[in-house]
Amino acid sequence: MNVVNRARDLFDEVVVLVAVNSVKHPGTDEEERAAAVRAILPVAWTSVTVAAWSGLTSTYCRRHEVAVIVRGLRNTTDLRTEYQLAAMNQSLGVPTVFLPAQPELTAVSSTAVRTLNK
């Protein structure tokens, strides 16, 4: 939510792309996760849409005229991983903007949230 809200300040439109990560095992498919994301977004955030996707992020961006990928970074481990993805996406024509996590959110991860919700 924090990254999406901050992206709203930078861009006229924001797409939250719920994609498949073969390394993670979320327990629900991307359509169910996209519906859950839609449900928690404030109704007033009319410039934000949510989409489910199972291909490359850069392919989605090119097909839907999304000019920039926005990614949140919590720490240097995230930076190393995200930098590699950003370089690949840049080579495919889509640049990435990194938004560093606010200090109070650096320990929050999707894995931690799933664990708490069990």
Is 109 among the domain residues? no
Distance from C-alpha of 17 to C-alpha of 37, rounded to nearest angstrom: 10
Is 87 among the domain residues? yes
Is 47 among the domain residues? yes
118 pLDDT above the threshold of 70: no
- Our count of domains for the chain comes to 1
Domain that holds residue 65: 2-103
Say if CB 95 and CB 89 are below 8 A apart.
yes
| C-alpha to C-alpha distances, 1 to 14, 55, 101, nearest whole angstrom | 12, 23, 11
pLDDT in tens, 83-95: 999 999 999 999 9
Q: Is the pTM of this model over 0.85?
A: no
Residue whose entry in the numeric block shows the structure tokens 């109704």: 43
CATH number of the domain where residue 33 is located: 3.40.50.620
Q: Which of 12-21, 67-76, 100-109 has the highest mean pLDDT?
A: 67-76
Which pLDDT value is given to residue 91?
97
In the chain, DSSP assigns E strands to 14-19, 48-53, 69-73, 96-100
Say if CB 74 and CB 81 are below 8 A apart.
no
Is 110 among the domain residues? no
Phi then psi for residue 14, to 5 deg, are -130, 135
pLDDT in tens, 13-64: 999 999 876 666 666 778 889 999 999 999 999 999 999 998 899 999 999 9
Q: Which two tokens stand for residue 43?
A: 């109704």
